Amino acid sequence: MQRSLVWLTSTALLVAGATTVAAPLGLPPVPVPDDNPQTEAKIMLGDKLFHGGLNSSNTMSCDQCHPNASNVHPETYPKFQQQLGKVAVLGEMINWCIMNPLESEPLALDSPDMVALQAYILQERRGVALAPGKH
């Protein structure tokens, strides 16, 4: 069975018993957890959080630096992030932004809010070819 969904560039996708989705560019199918499918509700929550719903202590929001999730490049993760000093997944970079420009507490990488933020970002970047390590 295949599901239509947006790419999630996270190790959370690699679970036993997952369905698969066709990958672009002739890559092998990507496993998708049956217990965590991509949904319109997740994308909508991510949109709200991205545009000011994180309640940052300094009133910053993600879209002030990244309008419509531009310049986020989720298709390039995992990759080395100089700010973190290591190879990181998208959620770790989101947390860097939450802790630094937004001056707020980081989210658990598997929290509903983190999943929703990634869902929104990936929805905005849909159709962009995967390029891990780029940028």
**Residue ranges per domain, the chain?**
38-124
Task: Specify the residue for token string 């496993």.
Answer: 31
CATH superfamily of the domain spanning 38-124 = Cytochrome c-like domain (1.10.760.10)
DSSP bridge pairs for 32: 19
Residues 6+ away with beta carbon under 8 Å from 41 = none
Task: Specify the residue for token string 């959620």.
Answer: 91
Tens of pLDDT, residue by residue over 104-129, are 999 999 999 999 999 999 888 887 77
DSSP letter for 107, please. P
Distances (CA, A) of 8 to 14, 58, 72: 11, 29, 14
Please report the pLDDT score of residue 16 as a whole number: 39
pLDDT(43) > 60: yes
pLDDT(18) > 50: no
Please report the pLDDT score of residue 31 as a whole number: 54
Please report the pLDDT score of residue 82 as a whole number: 92
Distance of alpha carbon 74 from alpha carbon 58, whole angstroms = 25
With a pLDDT cut of 70, the percent of the chain lying above it is: 74
Tens of pLDDT, residue by residue over 72-98, are 888 888 899 999 999 999 999 999 999
CB atoms within 10 A of CB 18: 18
Tens of pLDDT, residue by residue over 23-41, are 555 555 555 567 777 789 9
Distance of alpha carbon 56 from alpha carbon 62, whole angstroms = 10
